[in-house]
Amino acid sequence: MKNRSLVSITDYNKDEMLQILDLAGEFEKNPRQDLLHGSVVATLFFEPSTRTRLSFESAVNRLGGSVIGFSDSSSSSVSKGETLKDTILTVSNYSDLIVMRHPLEGSAKYASEVSPVPIINAGDGAHQHPTQTLLDMYSIRKTQGRLDNLRICMVGDLKYGRTVHSLLIAMIHFNPVFVFIAPEELKMPDEYKLLLDKNGIEYHEYKDIGDNMDDADIIYMTRVQRERFSDPLEYEKVKNVYILRNAMLGNTKPNVKVLHPLPRVNEINYDVDANPKAYYFEQALNGVFTRMAIISKILGVK
């Protein structure tokens, strides 16, 4: 993993993913370790973020490193027309590692091809969000005690939601059963279902929640990704298609956890928050430990 970019979750094999999760567990037990003294990490966010950017920055700070970057590209020379390539080449002069979020699918791959320092993809359009996947896996293993043979129910925007795409690919290593609940307009794209078919992974598709999440070990809720719709009217049609309410968890398994990459809009009612099955804020905390592990591996300090 040392000096390698993390653009797609497929950049890590099963053993490497498990190494990250194990190291994240060590950081959870002992989060203050001065391993990055003198190192600089750049965070370049061309799209809004709360959790990803701040948990990366928290991770670097907890490891004793320094952070530079921008949270809004309008404050950078991108607003004067500077290209992504020139931005990356410039920032790589100032940093040992670049964490980048960008609206264009493939932008992280392109950045990794031109950058002399490793790139971590913090989300590229509707494509992938690999560090979210590793923190999701960490959360799943921590709450279920294992990753193998789980029933994972994904609900909401399965078309544009990059977190479900990355998670699906990663969990193929662990023989899950997937349950996809989405309206016709936001169904899981065929390319991902073909991947499941190729790997002999069972999946089921439904349009309604009904009792379809009652057997799940993980309920992974997602936000309808307004920013990916070209037609605002199409967004209006589906924006509140599923709202998880506390009463709907009554028949679910005792071990089930509700995950959500966040931010939520309306898809999880606030009455779910006090239910012990709700895990999304702990999930966001796990992002710090997981990102500490990813950075440490890439910079070769662990």
Q: Are 179 and 152 in contact (CB under 8 A)?
A: yes
* Region binding ligand CP by CB under 6 A among candidate stretches 10-18, 175-183, 255-263, 292-300: 255-263
How would you classify residue 226: left for phi > 0, otherwise alpha for psi between -120 and 50, otherwise beta? alpha
Of 256, 254, 223, 259, the C-alpha closest to 238 is 223
Residues numbered 22-61 forming contacts with ligand CP, rule: CB under 6 A: 49-52
Is 210 a binding residue for ligand CP by CB under 6 A? The answer is no
Of 228, 124, 140, the C-alpha closest to 176 is 140
Is 283 a binding residue for ligand CP by CB under 6 A? The answer is no
Count residues near ligand CP (CB under 6 A).
Answer: 9
Nearer to ligand CP, 95 or 132 (CB): 132
In this structure, the number of other CB atoms found within 10 A of the CB of residue 294 comes to 25
Return the bridge partners of 180, or none. 154, 205
Of 258, 247, 187, 268, the C-alpha closest to 220 is 258
Least distance from C-beta 36 to ligand CP, angstroms?
21
Nearer to ligand CP, 140 or 196 (CB): 140
**What is the Cα–Cα distance from 146 to 176, expressed in whole angstroms?**
11
Nearer to ligand CP, 8 or 132 (CB): 132
Is 132 a binding residue for ligand CP by CB under 6 A? The answer is yes
Q: Kindly tell me which residue out of 126, 165, 261, 291 binds ligand CP, with binding defined by CB under 6 A.
A: 261
Q: Which residues bind ligand CP (CB under 6 A)?
A: 49-52, 123, 132, 261-263
